[in-house]
Amino acid sequence: MCTAISYLKGDHYFGRNLDMIQDYRQQITITPKNYVLRFRNGLNLFHHYAMIGMATVANGYPLYYEATNDAGLSMAGLHFPDNAVYFPRTACKDNIAPFELIPWVLGQCATVKEAKNLLLRLNIWMLPFSREFLLTPLHWIIADKECSIVVESTCEGVKLYDDPVGVLTNNPPFPYHMTNLANYRHLTPFDKHHRFCGVPIPAYSGAMGAIGLPGDYSSASRFIKAAYLRCNSKSDGPEEAHVRQFFHLLNAVAMPRGAVEMDDGLEVTLYSCCCNTDKGIYYYTTYENSRISAINMHHENLAAEGLITYPMRIFSEIFVQN
């Protein structure tokens, strides 16, 4: 399970929580413009947009969880079990395997509008990367500073949805989440007039305008909470203020160890990330290290031909002040 957010405060910020039971040796990965992106349908991109994000590098190929390109377009894949349906290779379509979709889009598109046009011919091909990395059921959010869309491949085929709230979690399919928002139209960060059947009722606490905001870890509840917090978020000042605020938003829907127990283990937020898509700076924290680390893609040689990777700074020490 995961939560992704697109956030505009001066610059555009995009990021996510990765909630999983185990990690897959993920690293911060920069794909330069001249790294050859080879797709299983036989097409190659020899020159493309550079991108930075978190990926597991397998056999020299970046399996991105999320990424941002140097044009400012971002994309993330989130778990979508029981609903994701992939298809056999189809004639007259762009047959792209799920693990290829992020580099396919970010390598060629600078905006959501361009991504929409590219995806009109998309067929998500039921082809796993390898025996070690099998097919993962996913859906995707794509965002620039103007708008966001969601991409889902279900039994009905590939669907593109406008995402006006700039948030994505997991099941059910995206139209349900938008319908479910209607149940929370009353939420507000302001205190309301407190009456019941016309009788004035004194408030016993502040912040009662948001009573009913979900606090559990289900994907439907995280969608509502993330959308509410993003909509009402306020951050002013330098870059650091916006970045810290973004991580506060993610922390509000993060999973502490022990809160969510699946059949095969405990699910936790392995890492949280935030990318300033205008500046190409990728920020992240891990479960064991809440200190924010940053990597600037423009400090690297983006005309290189090989992947550039950085290991995650997983652990931190507690500063003893006295």
Residues tagged active-site? 2
Q: Residue 205 phi/psi, 5° resolution?
A: -160, 160
DSSP secondary-structure letter at 142? E
The two structure tokens encoding residue 295: 């990597």
Strands 268-276 and 281-286 come out as: antiparallel
DSSP secondary-structure letter at 278? T
* Euclidean distance between CA atoms 173 and 180, whole angstroms: 11
CB 17 within 8 A of CB 253: yes
Nearest to 12 by CA among 239, 257, 314, 312: 239
Distance of CA 254 to the CA centre of its chain: 13
Long-range contacts made by residues 128-134, C-beta under 8 angstroms, separation at least 24?
128/97, 128/99, 129/58, 129/61, 129/63, 129/97, 129/99, 130/58, 130/59, 132/58, 133/24, 133/56, 133/58, 133/63, 133/99
Q: Is 131 exposed, middle or buried (0-12, 13-18, 19+ CB in 10 A)?
A: exposed
The residue with tokens 């939420």 is: 187
The two structure tokens encoding residue 2: 């995961």
